[in-house]
Amino acid sequence: MDIKIKDSDIYLTSSMNTVYINGIDEVVQRVQIACTAKKGGFSYDRDFGIDLSDIDFDSDNLKELLQLRIDEATLDIKNAHITLKSVDKTQDPVLMTLEIEYMGKTRETEVAING
């Protein structure tokens, strides 16, 4: 179970109650955060996040390179399988479409990354 985050802030109901999520919703949120947080950017956990500093976004193997980094960043999310479906370099920031499988459920999500 996790607290729902929306627009980079804790999501509250109209009566100011915290909203909790679990299952595939929690996993999708954890993947989104792990893939947008800069690795080393959190003083309490220097291994959290994704390192894209040496990725060549013009590489012919871009999708494979990003998949490896996604796998690294989401290693601690148990029982989840994350697949990079597409990379849209025409967008600024670059837009990744991820397919997340967890406990028999599948969900697609888009993650914007700075390339």
Q: What is the CATH number of the domain that holds 109?
A: 3.10.450.40
CA distances from 29 to 34, 77, 111 (A): 9, 11, 10
Q: How far apart are CA 110 and CA 97, in angstroms?
A: 5
Please tell me the distance from the alpha carbon of residue 113 to that of residue 67, in angstroms, as a whole number. Answer: 13
Per-residue pLDDT of the chain (115 residues; tens, 9 = 90+): 999 999 889 999 999 999 999 999 999 999 999 999 999 998 899 999 999 999 999 999 999 999 999 999 999 999 999 999 999 999 899 999 999 999 999 999 999 998 6
pTM score of the predicted model: 0.91
Query: What is the rounded CA–CA span in Å between residue 95 and residue 28?
Result: 16
32: closest CA among 11, 13, 10, 6?
6
Residue 95 CB neighbours (<10 A): 16
If you compute the radius of gyration of the chain from its CA atoms, what whole number of angstroms results? 15
Give the number of domains in the chain: 1
What is the domain range of residue 11?
A: 2-113
